């Protein structure tokens, strides 16, 4: 076996050792095994409401389970690299955690994640009171729509539908950043888990990356809305549109015009709400753009 490793051949071993890495030694060129003794655990940091890309080199057996914070995480393996997007909730308790890979009952630690602190601003908004203090009818509608979104987020494509980095849906001034604590009509407080861009009614809005449209309809809070599944648990949302140009089930390319900016739903004026959801957590879009720079498929 050592002779085969010296020749640069990656060997898939029985579950007792799990798998071997294809990363070579700088000194001798000998391939190093990724087993419990020799595995170099990756150290990463993440902040509340952000995304990080996890990349681990090695030959991984099919059917393994990747878990972080005791939650299953979707991943892809290509050219001896496991890739997965990690996300941290806005409401994080900042507790460090590990990411493990399990196959046939054998578990290996791939990474140790430290959660750093992050602060968020506050803002006060005045909107139509019927969209702050909901009638029973609107409460039921909002609850149905919330369940509909959660159902969509739970069925992401198992492989990446995109091939390169994500981009902003519009180049415009940010009027409200992700994570802002919002006080509506001086009474109700919420968190803004998306990014708002200044956009006149009729401004073309482009898809941030390739994917499949899983929702295209009118919602109580976000008005005319399009949600795109990009695979691996990554979704982007485009809200308050005046018009929608794409239909549910449609596969669209990056930079496709999916609709026009508007002022539908709960708004103070025309703008685009851009949301990003990764592993069922609403996260900051710019952190996904940054993390995806290293993702090539």
Claim to verify: residue 60 and residue 140 sit in the same structural domain: no
Is residue 167 helix, strand or coil? Answer: coil
What's the domain count of the chain?
A: 2
Claim to verify: residue 134 and residue 58 sit in the same structural domain: no
Candidates 267, 251, 60, 245; CA nearest to 175 is 267
| Domain closes at, from 63, 94, 115 | 115
Claim to verify: residue 108 and residue 216 sit in the same structural domain: no
Give me the pLDDT at residue 8, please: 41
Claim to verify: residue 102 and residue 241 sit in the same structural domain: no
Its domain, for residue 181, covers 122-294
Give me the pLDDT at residue 233, please: 97
DSSP letters, 237-279, are EEEEEEEE---TT-EE-TT-EEEEEB--SS-SSSEEEEEEEET
| Domain closes at, from 56, 90, 115 | 115
Claim to verify: residue 156 and residue 217 sit in the same structural domain: yes
Claim to verify: residue 100 and residue 61 sit in the same structural domain: yes
Claim to verify: residue 84 and residue 170 sit in the same structural domain: no
Claim to verify: residue 127 and residue 109 sit in the same structural domain: no
Residues in the chain: 297
Tell me the two tokens of residue 132. Answer: 């702050």
Give me the pLDDT at residue 129, please: 59
Claim to verify: residue 105 and residue 185 sit in the same structural domain: no
Claim to verify: residue 11 and residue 92 sit in the same structural domain: yes
Scored b (16 or more CB within 10 A) or e, 73-98 reads bbbebeebebbbbbbbbbebeeeebe
Claim to verify: residue 71 and residue 140 sit in the same structural domain: no
Where residue 284 sits, what CATH number does that domain have?
2.70.70.10
Where residue 41 sits, what CATH number does that domain have?
2.60.40.10
| Domain closes at, from 86, 115, 144 | 115
Element (H, E) at 28: none
Give me the pLDDT at residue 127, please: 57
Q: Could you tell me whether strands 81-87 and 223-231 are parallel, antiparallel, or unpaired per DSSP bridges? A: unpaired
Give me the pLDDT at residue 204, please: 98
The answer to whether the pTM exceeds 0.85 is no
8 A C-beta contact, residue 11 and residue 25: no
pLDDT in tens, the chain (297 residues): 444 344 343 434 433 334 444 433 333 333 333 444 456 789 999 999 999 999 999 889 989 999 999 899 999 999 899 999 999 998 999 999 999 999 999 999 999 999 999 887 666 555 565 566 678 898 899 999 999 999 999 999 999 999 999 999 999 999 988 887 756 544 545 777 899 999 999 999 999 999 999 999 999 999 999 999 999 999 999 999 999 999 999 999 999 999 999 999 988 899 999 999 999 999 999 999 999 998 877
Claim to verify: residue 271 and residue 169 sit in the same structural domain: yes
Q: Facing residues of 86 across strands? A: 52
């Amino acid at each position: 076996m050592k002779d085969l490793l010296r020749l640069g051949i990656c060997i898939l071993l029985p579950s007792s050792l799990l798998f071997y890495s294809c990363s070579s030694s700088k000194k001798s060129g000998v391939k190093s095994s990724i087993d419990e003794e020799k595995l170099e655990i990756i150290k990463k940091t993440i902040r509340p409401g952000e995304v990080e890309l996890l990349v681990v080199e090695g030959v991984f057996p099919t059917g393994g389970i990747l878990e972080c914070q005791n939650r299953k995480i979707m991943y892809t393996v290509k050219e001896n690299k496991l890739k997965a997007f990690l996300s941290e909730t806005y409401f994080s308790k900042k507790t460090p955690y590990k990411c493990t890979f399990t196959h046939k009952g054998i578990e290996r630690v791939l990474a140790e994640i430290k959660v750093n602190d992050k602060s968020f601003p506050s803002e006060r908004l005045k909107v139509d009171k019927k969209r702050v203090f909901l009638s029973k009818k609107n409460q039921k509608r909002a609850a149905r729509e919330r369940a509909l979104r959660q159902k969509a987020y739970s069925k992401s494509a198992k492989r990446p539908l995109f091939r390169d980095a994500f981009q902003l849906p519009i180049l415009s001034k940010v009027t409200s950043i992700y994570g802002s604590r919002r006080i509506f009509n001086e009474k109700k407080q919420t968190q803004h888990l998306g990014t708002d861009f200044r956009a006149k009614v009729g401004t073309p809005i482009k898809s941030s990356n390739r994917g499949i449209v899983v929702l295209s309809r009118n919602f109580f809070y976000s008005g005319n809305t399009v949600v795109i599944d990009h695979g691996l648990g990554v979704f982007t949302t485009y809200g308050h549109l005046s018009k929608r140009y794409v239909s549910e089930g449609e596969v669209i390319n990056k930079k496709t015009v999916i609709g026009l900016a508007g002022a539908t739903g709960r708004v103070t004026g025309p703008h685009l709400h851009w949301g990003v959801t990764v592993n069922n957590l609403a996260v900051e879009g710019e952190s996904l753009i940054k993390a995806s720079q290293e993702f090539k498929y």
